[in-house]
């Protein structure tokens, strides 16, 4: 039911925004056009009232100063109609294309990218934790709840509690459960990535819709007696700025964030695979040296080299070299 509601809402939002882009006055959408309209109206009033030439020139100089200012330059690119047509239209299409709940959480998905990604220290912590616990398992010592609670990685801590502290869980069960966890994480991550990529593709499309709307408005501003300058500029601003917004939102926000989300997913999957291997070594009570040879493969080359050098130095110290 909620998905059908989301589809209807998306269609209504999309249609409303296109109509809004057609009927909403340009000077109430773009501050630069508002200032241009005020300048033209005041200038026409001064001329009709026979104002002194000095007053007219002062009025023209004031508008010229606004045009040359940084605020005047920036205000040319700020257009409410264009933003709503592109961003609102893309989101409306997302409501139609995806489940209602996922579309509502779209901006939460964007926020996930700004969370801390798995860094080298996360892999290093799993490596050292498994080796330390492997030594206790080989010596038939009990892993205490305090040691498990001290593990900062949530997944590893929970799996140690569920699989290693409880002896009845078999290797096959550990393998199956963690692989299912990885598959589900992959599935959920691809849902977020697909949604972000869809919005990245939709933004330029709605930018082109805004361009068509702007060109139609611009042609409508021309009459047999000439053209309304403010009207032509309003239509042109919608036509050009919507295209600009569509490209910028796609190429700077949605598609790069989707790519980064994919990289975060790949790193997390690799870390989960490393934890799976480590838990199996703990379950089999393998020697720490045996586990180290396998787990070190998951480490980045820089950390791998650092650990090998440390182990070599420790070995030389033990041999008295």
Residue with tokens 């493969």: 297
Q: What is the pLDDT of residue 224?
A: 46
Q: What is the pLDDT of residue 169?
A: 81
Q: Which two tokens stand for residue 117?
A: 């990604």
Neighbours of 28 (CB within 10 A): 12
CA pair distance 14, 206, nearest whole angstrom: 10
Q: Are 284 and 171 in contact (CB under 8 A)?
A: yes
- Alpha-carbon distance values, 266 to 194, 231, 256, 269 (Å): 15, 51, 15, 5
β-bridge pairing 226-227 and 222-223: antiparallel
- Alpha-carbon distance values, 146 to 62, 152, 161 (Å): 73, 12, 11
The per-residue pLDDT string of the chain (321 residues; one tens digit each, 9 = 90 and over) reads 566 776 777 778 777 877 777 677 777 777 887 888 888 888 888 888 888 888 888 888 888 888 888 888 888 888 888 888 888 888 888 888 888 888 888 878 777 777 655 577 888 889 989 999 998 888 888 888 888 888 888 899 999 888 887 777 888 999 999 999 999 999 999 998 999 999 999 999 988 888 887 777 777 666 545 555 655 666 677 778 888 999 999 999 999 999 998 988 998 999 999 999 999 999 988 888 888 888 888 888 888 888 877 777 766 665 555
Sketch the domain layout of the chain as residue ranges. Answer: 2-113+202-238
CA pair distance 278, 268, nearest whole angstrom: 15
For the chain, the straight-line distance linking the first and the last C-alpha, in angstroms and rounded, comes to 74
CA pair distance 156, 143, nearest whole angstrom: 14
Q: Is 182 exposed, middle or buried (0-12, 13-18, 19+ CB in 10 A)?
A: middle
Q: Which two tokens stand for residue 132?
A: 């330390």
Q: What is the pLDDT of residue 24?
A: 77
Length, in residues, of the chain: 321
CA pair distance 256, 198, nearest whole angstrom: 12
């Amino acid at each position: 039911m909620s998905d059908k509601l989301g589809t209807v809402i998306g269609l209504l939002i999309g249609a409303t925004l296109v109509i809004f882009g057609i009927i909403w006055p340009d000077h109430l959408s773009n501050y630069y056009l508002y200032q241009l309209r005020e300048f033209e109206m005041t200038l026409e009033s001064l001329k009709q009232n026979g104002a002194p030439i000095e007053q007219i020139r002062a009025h023209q100089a004031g508008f010229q100063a606004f045009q040359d200012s940084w605020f005047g330059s920036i205000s040319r690119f700020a257009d409410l109609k264009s933003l709503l047509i592109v961003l609102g239209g893309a989101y409306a299409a997302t409501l139609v294309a995806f489940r209602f709940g996922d579309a509502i959480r779209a901006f939460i998905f964007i926020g996930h990218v700004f969370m801390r990604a798995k860094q080298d220290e996360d892999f290093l912590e799993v490596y050292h934790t498994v080796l330390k616990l492997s030594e206790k398992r080989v010596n038939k010592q009990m892993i205490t709840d305090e040691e498990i609670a001290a593990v900062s990685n949530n997944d590893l801590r929970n799996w140690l509690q569920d699989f290693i502290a409880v002896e009845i869980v078999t290797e096959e069960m550990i393998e199956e459960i963690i692989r299912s966890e990885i598959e589900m994480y992959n599935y959920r991550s691809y849902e977020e990535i697909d949604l972000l990529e869809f919005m990245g593709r939709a933004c330029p499309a709605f930018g082109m819709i805004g361009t068509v709307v702007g060109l139609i408005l611009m042609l409508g501003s021309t009459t047999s007696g000439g053209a309304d300058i403010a009207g032509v500029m309003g239509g042109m601003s919608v036509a050009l700025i919507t295209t600009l917004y569509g490209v910028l939102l796609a190429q700077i926000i949605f598609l790069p964030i989707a790519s980064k989300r994919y990289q975060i997913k790949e790193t997390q999957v690799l870390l989960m695979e490393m934890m799976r291997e480590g838990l199996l070594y703990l379950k089999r009570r393998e020697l720490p040296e045996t586990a180290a040879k396998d787990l070190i493969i998951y480490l980045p080359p820089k950390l791998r080299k650092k650990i090998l050098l440390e182990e070599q130095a420790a070995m030389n110290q033990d041999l008295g070299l």
